Every structure is written in C-alpha cells, then in structure tokens.
Amino acid sequence: MTTITISGERLSLDALRPVYRGPVEVELTHQALENLQRGHQVILDAIGRGQVVYGVNTGFGKLADRRISPGDLAELQRRSVLSHMVGVGDPLPDEIVRAILVIKLIGLARGHSGVRVEIAEMLTALINADVLPVIPSQGSVGASGDLAPLAHMAGAMIGEGRVRINGVTYDAIEGLAKAGITPVVLGPKEAVALLNGVQASTAIALRGLFGAEAVFNAGLAAGALTLEATAGRQVVLDDRIQQVRGHDGQIRVAGALRRLVEDSPVLDIEFEGRRLQDPYCLRCQPQVMGAALDLLTFAARTIEQEVNAVSDNPLMFPGDNVVLSGGNFHGQPIAYAADIIAMAICEIGSISERRQAMLMDSSMSGLAPFLVENAGLNSGFIMVQVTSAALVAENRAKATPSSVDSIPTSAGQEDHVSMATHASMRLGPMVRNAAYIVAIELLCAAQGLDLRNEGLAAPANRPTYGLVRAKAEFLKDDRIMAGEMEAIAADVLDGVFVEITGVPLEVVN
C-alpha cells in the first residue's frame, strides 16, 4: 500500500494518483506536528486575550456579529457542523472522499488553521483505516468553500452522519467503533477549519484532470493511427512549423505524433489521388490538441497549488502571533480550472469525431464506404459514428462555463460565489463521454488501416493497433460492437495510452 508523507511541504499531483486507485496510508512528520501545535497556540493566545475571532466566539456567515458566550464555545462547534450537514443527492465515490480527506490533511498540516494535533490524527486514522464519510454530491456553491460536503466529512469525525467501510454503509458512530476509532470533540476554531475550504471541489477536479490526461493521450494515439489509415500528410508535423508559432503544447503534440508515425509503411508512399492537403481534423492536430494540452497544463498548475493551499478562515500566523480573516475559501481558482478542463475535454472529443467522419467518407479517406466491404448489405461503422456525434453534442452542452455563474447566499453576505463544485462535478461524465468517442475512433482507425495496408502500422503505432485488435477483430460483416466500444473505452480510462504517446501532464511552477 502506498504511504503518503505529509510534512507541511509541497506535494506533487503525482503523489496523489494512488489515492484515486484505492486505499492509501498517510503519515505526519514531526514538522507537520510542530506546525499544528504552533498554529493552535495562536488561537489559544487569542482566546486568552479576549479577542473576538470569527467562528471561535462568533456566529457564522451573516451571524458573524453575534458574540457567543464562553460557556457555549464547544457547543458552537458541534452545532455549526450539524447545521451545515445539508448535502443532498448521490454520495460522492469512495476515491473522491478519500482524496478530500488527504487534501484537507495536507492543508491543515501547514499549521495556519489553528486545529489541535488530535484533529489531524483523526483524519489520519480515517484515511489509514479507509473509513470514508458518506458525502452527498450536491449542495455546495463553492462560496465559503465546500461547506455542505465538508460538514458531512466533519460530522463523521464527531460521530454524526454515516461512513462507508469496504463498500458497506454504517451510522458514523457504529462505523468508527468497528474501525476502533473514537469520535473527536471539536475545540475552538476546529469546526470552521474543517468546514471552510475547497477540498471537495479540488478533489473532484483533480480526478477530472487525471481523466482528461488519459483521454488526451488516447486521442493522440487515435489521431496518429487515423493519419496512417487515411494516408495523411505528415509534413504538418514538421518541428519548424511548430517552432515559429511557439506554443509549448503544439510543439509537444507534434513531436509525439512524429514519433508515432515515424517509418510508417504508408505515409512516405506517393500514389495517384493522394490529397495535397488534409482536412483540419488531421492537418491541425498539433494546433488543436496542443492548445488543449496547454489548458490542461494550466489547470494542473492551479490544482496542484490548491492541493497544497490553506483555504479556511480565519488563519493563524504563528510567526506574528496574529489571527487574520480573509477569503481563501473562495473557489474561483478551481472553478476556472474545471471550466478549462471541460473545454479541453470537449475539443478532444470533437476533433476525434471529425476524424471518424472523414474515415467514413470514401471520397475523403480513399477507403471503402463506412469502412466495410459489401457496403449496403453491411452498414459497417455508420452507427458508431452516430453514437460519437451524440456524445460530442452532450459534452458541448456540459462544457458551458460554470465559473461565470453566481447566486447570492447567506442574506447577501456571500454575494459572489464560484460554483466550483458544479464546475468540477461535470468533468467525470465528460471524461467518460470522451473516452467512448476516442474508443470509437480507435476502432475505426484500426479498421481503416486493415483496409489500406492489412494492419501494418508504423512501429510506434503498433502497440495502439494491437490494443484495439486485442478487444475487437476486423469487421468483415456487421456485428454488435457495443461491448468492444466499452472494452476499449475502459483501456482509455485506465490511462494505458499515456505510456504509448508519452505526453503526461507536466506542472511547471
């Protein structure tokens, strides 16, 4: 089992990949424990001075001007969690809940949230035992962070709500006991430290980013195979063309495609009727897919920053022994990141579907109509392209930005909200749709290459062709292809094409 060491120092996105694959263990370093102790001392000192601190001895949101008596401070923490447990809808998947716990722990370990070591140890115990709070997926506008989702997380920590263990759901108090974990009693500032923050939308967006990386690389592999199947012009991949424009993503994409089609037995042969210039879906792959890569790279940098951020309120600064209130909980950075991931996913699928349409059109591809012999009796790939078009249309609708929306809450106190959770939640379905679209192109491209060249691909394209043919044989006569589409889409989602194309996400800080 993977162990993630949390010290209060920066972690890479790659360090969190195992969290989405299954249970992990975390360990807090001595430095992290020291950070927590120093931050907690600041809040103790502020209380000792009689200082008014939001969420410690005041109400929440619009009720921040209501002072809470010293005797009610502990009850305030409990009630604030209960009052915020208002999420509805289907529970978030286990891998996302696991990521929420880990990302929350990373932020607390920076030592600016004022919580006791016991709170971090409670999160550590939940993660290490894989006891996962049941967190409803709806109810957050990404304003003071993901209040409702994180309240369901905090509720489980105090024995309220429900938890899931090995797929079985228990009342929190029963589930904690089963795992040998004792609920915590929250102290000053600890409820607001757990409720404030954008860890839910960040965890959801990060899963979407990893999925986008997988479909992006599969889209590159499919495009390279289609280039061979349609005898496209590889001159468009020449590095000199890319360099004079200068976009990093375009340069990387063209380089990957050049490698994939190098020494192709098709592309270096001239023949009568070969196109002088290809349609944009082939010719502009570096420009379109490169721009998508640049968007994903920007999103990765933003999400990595947020994974390592302190986003609750108010914040402790031990070096100055002060408590400062601000707005780090606002989810706008994640909302923007999720929106641009959505745009990239949409275009990866859109250009893939256009290449499929080209493969179907014998006047454009030079192949048999709809990629099948004896067309007429056989329908061939007519309908798989229709499925692809339907999924592209669905993703276009889902790609509408969420970050430009806002609806005031809390009697106007929270008058501008980010919709970061909405922005992030639609990424999962979009990734799945794009995986199907690219899987369909892979099927079509392999069929096209069989028709053109008996399946003999460029050396670096052969693994892609082999993966397709391992799941789907050459289509001689019509058959049910739905299962083959599902199988290849599963390979796409598993990220198997990242190694073939060699274009993983790179975060440049």
Q: What is the Cα 19 distance to its own chain's centre?
A: 12
| R_g of the chain, CA atoms, integer Å | 26
Positive or negative CA dihedral for 121, 125, 128, 130?
negative
How far apart CA 3 and CA 354 sit, in angstroms, is 44
Q: What are 393's two structure tokens?
A: 């249309």
Record the tokens describing residue 221, joined without a space: 């592999």
* φ, ψ at 375 (rounded to 5°): -65, 140
Rounded Cα gap, residues 75 and 187, in angstroms = 9
- Sequence-distant (≥ 6) Cβ neighbours of residue 293 within 8 angstroms: 216, 248, 249, 252, 253, 344, 503
3-state secondary structure 210-278: HHHHHHHHHHHHHHHHHHHHCCCCHHHHCHHHHHHHCCHHHHHHHHHHHHHHCCCCCCCCCCCCCCCCC
CB 92 within 8 A of CB 136: yes
Distant-in-sequence contacts of 171-179, Cβ < 8 A, 24+ apart: 172/133, 175/131, 176/131, 179/125, 179/129, 179/131
Cβ neighbours of residue 351 under 8 Å, at least 6 residues apart?
219, 223, 281, 285, 288, 289
Strand partners, 163: 133, 170
Question: Taking each helix axis from N to C terminus, what angle separates 117-129 and 147-157, rounded to the nearest 10 degrees?
Answer: 90
Rounded to an integer, what is the distance from CA 271 to the centroid of its chain?
45
Q: Return the residue matching tokens 């198997």.
A: 496
Residue 36 tokens read as: 């927590």
2 Cα distance to chain centroid: 20
The answer to whether 54 is a known catalytic residue is yes
For residues 500 and 217, the answer to whether their CB atoms sit within 8 Å is yes
Identify the active-site residue in 54, 336, 436, 465. Answer: 54
Distance CA 429, CA 435 (A): 10
Would you give the distance in Å from CA 87 to the centre of its chain? 21
Under DSSP, the state recorded for 92 is P
Distance CA 38, CA 92 (A): 34
Instruction: Report d(CA 236, CA 254) in Å as an integer.
Output: 8
- Active-site residues, by number, are 54
